[in-house]
Amino acid sequence: MSTLIEPAEHTALRAAVAALGRRHGPGFDRAELWAEAGKLGYLGVNLPEEYGGGGGGMAELSIVLEEAGAAGAPLLMMVVSPAICGTVLARFGTDAQKAAWLPGLADGSRTMAFGITEPDAGSNSHRITTTATRTGDGWVLDGRKVFVSGVDIADATLIVGRTSDARTGTLKACLFIVPRDTPGFGRRAIDMELDAHEKQFELTLDGVRLPADALVGDEDAGLLQLFAGLNPERIMTAAFAIGMGRYALAQAVTYAKERQVWKTPIGAHQAIAHPLAQSHIELELARLMMRKAAALYDAGDDLAAGEAANMAKYAAAEACVKAVDQSVHTLGGNGLTREFGLARLITAARVARIAPVSREMILNFVSHQTLGLPKSY
């Protein structure tokens, strides 16, 4: 029942973040909003209280991102810094790593990017070729990463590499904290059509030397640690998409109430009203699945949370794309003007379908893991 009926503290958090988002508005200054959200405790609401966080979980953090997005002021780095990196460090980091990073991630004074995608690996994380070689006093990393968000504004990047297993000779996934200015750690901005505050980068790691304590957690628990960050990533991508869809829908509803062509508001016509109502229904359904995923994750049920998080991400992306498209269509030519600011969301909405995992890979997951159908690969 708790996943269906929102508790009073969540409703209060939702209202407070919505008010903050409205104060900044669609033309928001990302740095100012990030700093204020951090000061108010919203960015670290999922992190442990002993390190300055709110002691909550993904249920609370997803509310923050959704409501900021619904106000037209989404903070994409929330998906990465407190959700992925903060979660991984809180669950698996050493005491020193937690003390060094979590307070800053919680109040927004420090940010961390996340590098997993590679040019030739795509959705297959088993093909990651970035390698970490043990040295006498630490590690050496070599490889490449692409589509890494916000590296230029992040203090460090949590890099997914692979180390050699001495027992089997095979490569296993491990996570490393790489500070932004580490020698050999290069970045190149990728020229994107996407209109976003956070830029995308290609990273090169050329003989990057790291101390022994750059390794996060246990070298033998790499995949467990990696997937602990991927479920929050999917939940937060759902929140990002739902917020964006709600924002677009709200603009369209306002326009449909005010715009008159044949002596009555266009929203009175079913050809306008019904598609908008359908989008609202689909966004609400996606939000329910997102809340289920967050509740399962916060309860420690990683297996069930994985299924629900993938479904939530899929449902939210589809609902968002449809809501944005219908909102632009409702405004007609005005939907393509800079004045109303909806056309830029067409590209942004597609991101949720593609990243961090494509909808086709989610359908593969559900068909294999949930339905028990045979694999095609």
Residue 160: strand, helix, or coil: strand
Q: Which residues of the chain fall short of a pLDDT of 50?
A: 1
Mean pLDDT over all residues of the chain? 93
Indicate if 95 and 124 belong to the same structural domain. no
CATH code at 122? 2.40.110.10
Number of domains making up the chain: 3
pLDDT at position 217, please? 81
Indicate if 123 and 105 belong to the same structural domain. no
pLDDT at position 298, please? 96
The answer to whether the bond into 356 is cis (omega within 30° of 0) is yes
User: Domain range spanning residue 158?
Assistant: 113-219
Q: Which residue shows structure tokens 């508005």?
A: 25
Indicate if 99 and 128 belong to the same structural domain. no
pLDDT at position 194, please? 83
Indicate if 28 and 59 belong to the same structural domain. yes
What is the value of pTM for the model shown? 0.94
Burial of 290 per CB tally in 10 Å (0-12, 13-18, 19+): buried
Residue 298 included in any domain: yes
Give the whole-angstrom CA distance, residue 360 versus residue 87.
26
Residues in CB range of 23: below 8 A, 6 or more apart: none
Q: What's the Cα-to-Cα distance from 33 to each of 28, 118, 206, 251, rounded to whole Å?
A: 7, 31, 35, 22
Give the whole-angstrom CA distance, residue 225 versus residue 90.
11
CATH code at 40? 1.10.540.10
354: its two tokens = 């593609």
CATH code at 283? 1.20.140.10
Residue after which a domain boundary falls, among 168, 203, 219:
219
pLDDT at position 1, please? 40
Residue after which a domain boundary falls, among 219, 247, 268:
219
What per-residue string of b and e applies to 8-17 under the rule 16 or more CB within 10 Å gives b?
eebeebbebb
Indicate if 209 and 288 belong to the same structural domain. no
Indicate if 47 and 95 belong to the same structural domain. yes
